[in-house]
Amino acid sequence: MASEPDQPIQEVKSSAGLPEQAPARRKPVEQEQGFQGKPGGQKKSIASRGIPSKDSLYLPPFNSPSMRPFEDGSGAITHTFWDLSEVLNFVFPRHYQLKYNEIAEKFLLQLIKSLTLDGPALGNFVKANGISKATFYNRVLPRLKRIGIIKVERDTLVALESKRKFRPMKIHLSKTFGNYLNKIGNSWHAIVDTAREKAQVKEEG
């Protein structure tokens, strides 16, 4: 599969010495969307290859022995919840991305405990755990942000003496990841229920 890394959240020092995100370069629109840029409306075709890793989740077979069952024999969802380690395996599968998985779990355990982490706290976390800055800021953190597990906020502050602006980073837990998957799941439930209801009405009529 073709693999494209997530856009890095680079650790850039501001005038106040706090990490600040550098603007990430984006691909031209025509490269991202197969843009109709030629006269005559010819659409650029996209080669059929693997889904980029930045746009994918790991979904093993629903009955895989590697995860706890989530539904009973009748197809009803169970009332047990997966823990953090189990959830992260869908984002950074241990079998394929063990290093990223371990870093993400340590980071999220710290965030769950603190609820909010700022730039200096992130730096302390990386240093205390002996984690590569490139791995954390360029791979793990952007991935967690992209799929909605964390939310990154920045406040614009102005230094009184120099009048220079800097934007310290704050990271929070986010429910967007859960909302995203719930929307997919609930929509599929509605599609199946509607199909069954129509079939039943047809049989009764």
pLDDT tens sequence across 176-197: 999 999 999 999 999 999 999 9
Q: Are strands 169-173 and 150-154 parallel, antiparallel or unpaired?
A: antiparallel
Q: What phi and psi values does residue 62 have, to the nearest 5 degrees?
A: -60, -25
Q: Dump pLDDT digits (tens) for 85-141.
A: 999 999 999 999 999 999 999 999 999 999 999 999 999 999 999 999 999 999 999
At the top level of CATH, the class of 1-20+79-174 is mainly alpha
Write b or e for each residue in 92-128: b if 16 or more Cβ atoms lie within 10 A of its Cβ, otherwise e. Answer: bbbeebeebbbbbbebbebbeeeeebbbebbbebbee
Instruction: Give the pLDDT confidence score for residue 205 in this predicted structure.
Output: 72
Has residue 3 got a pLDDT over 50? no
In what helix (H) or strand (E) does residue 20 lie, and over which residues does it extend?
Answer: strand 19-20
Residue with tokens 């993400």: 104
- Residue of 152, 182, 180, 179 whose CA lies nearest to 168: 152
For position 73, what pLDDT does the model report?
86
Q: Which residue has the tokens 């603007």?
A: 23
pLDDT of residue 27: 53
Q: Which H or E element spans position 13?
A: strand 12-13
What is the DSSP track for 67-119? S---B-TTSPBPS----HHHHHTTTS-TTT-HHHHHHHHHHHHHHHHHSEEEH
pLDDT for the residue numbered 102: 97
What pLDDT is stored for residue 39 in this prediction?
52
User: Which tens digits make up the pLDDT trace of 160-169?
Assistant: 566 666 667 8
**Of 158 and 84, which is predicted with more confidence?**
84
**pLDDT tens sequence across 19-77:** 444 445 555 444 444 444 455 556 677 777 788 888 899 999 999 988 899 998 888 88
Non-local CB neighbours of 78 within 8 Å, separated by 6+ positions? 69, 70, 71, 72
Q: Residue 79: its pLDDT value, please?
A: 87
pLDDT at 46: 73
Helices 119-128 and 98-114: crossing angle, nearest 10°? 130
The per-residue DSSP string of 128-174 comes to HTT--HHHIIIIIHHHHHHTTSEEEEE--EE-TTT--EE--EEEEE-
CB 49 within 8 A of CB 202: no
Q: Is 19 helix (H, G, I), strand (E, B) or coil?
A: strand
Q: What is the DSSP letter of 21?
A: P
pLDDT for the residue 9: 63
